[in-house]
Amino acid sequence: AMGFNQHCSIQIDRQLPRDSAGFPLLSESVNENNQGNDGGNSHQNVNINNQDHIANINSYNGWKGWAAVWDYSKELFATRLFNKRACIVAKMNKDAFPSLEKLSKFKDQKVRAKDTPPPPFLRFSITKTRVRNVAQFGRSIGNLCKGVPTYYAQQDQGALLFESQGCIDAGILGLFGIYLCGNISGC
């Protein structure tokens, strides 16, 4: 069997301005670790590009891992699901998603799951409609979803929000939950 890195490594093709020491400017990172109830580890990394109004989120959880781009300027987000070998694109609800400023402040907090209430979340239903051209969403989302089947998702409203069993949690640990629900064709 092929390993995780052989199937799923991605590169976001984005050059950031650098200081004299070679470190990126206008970018901040957030790291969050969580010891899951099943004994598994999840590690997340959030990189914020304030100049382009983009957050890149990586959830390192083996084959259940995923990568996401939240593009605030285009009001879109995309999540590449490694175990499904697919990408999901949806419209961002800017009133519900945490702002880039909130993401930046979150990096300075130490979150302990047992001490905090559950974070707010949104639920999205994956449609059967495939995206024909991922480049239409810009370079960051285009690079994330390049080479894998990509589907649209729509935010659910109402009572369904409380039913998340069987959905994929693609949110930021301790801050904001995104549940992607539905079957992906061909996976």
Tokens read off for 7: 């199937």
The per-residue pLDDT for 117 is 59
CB neighbour list of residue 4: distance below 8 Å, 6 or more residues apart: 62, 63, 65, 82
Asked if residues 98 and 106 have their Cβ atoms less than 8 Å apart, the reply is yes
Q: pLDDT at residue 157 above 50?
A: yes
Q: Provide the whole-model pTM.
A: 0.71
Let me know if residue 1 belongs to a domain.
no
Q: pLDDT at residue 187 above 50?
A: no
Let me know if residue 124 belongs to a domain.
yes
Let me know if residue 14 belongs to a domain.
no
Let me know if residue 35 belongs to a domain.
yes
Let me know if residue 42 belongs to a domain.
yes
Q: Which tens digit of pLDDT belongs to each residue from 159-180?
A: 455 555 578 888 877 678 888 8
The per-residue pLDDT for 68 is 95
Residue 143's pLDDT band (cuts 50, 70, 90): very high
What SS3 state is found at 12?
Answer: coil
The per-residue pLDDT for 116 is 58
Give the structural domain span for 59: 25-181
Q: In Å, how far from its chain's centre is CA 166?
A: 18
Let me know if residue 13 belongs to a domain.
no
Select the more confidently predicted residue: 84 or 35.
Answer: 84
Q: Which tens digit of pLDDT belongs to each residue from 103-128?
A: 888 766 655 555 555 667 888 999 99
Rg of the chain over Cα atoms, rounded to whole angstroms, equals: 16
Let me know if residue 7 belongs to a domain.
no
C-alpha distance from residue 57 to each of 37, 73, 161, 171, 175 (Å): 22, 16, 23, 9, 13
**Domains held by the chain: number:** 1
Asked if residues 149 and 186 have their Cβ atoms less than 8 Å apart, the reply is yes
Let me know if residue 152 belongs to a domain.
yes
Q: pLDDT at residue 62 above 50?
A: yes
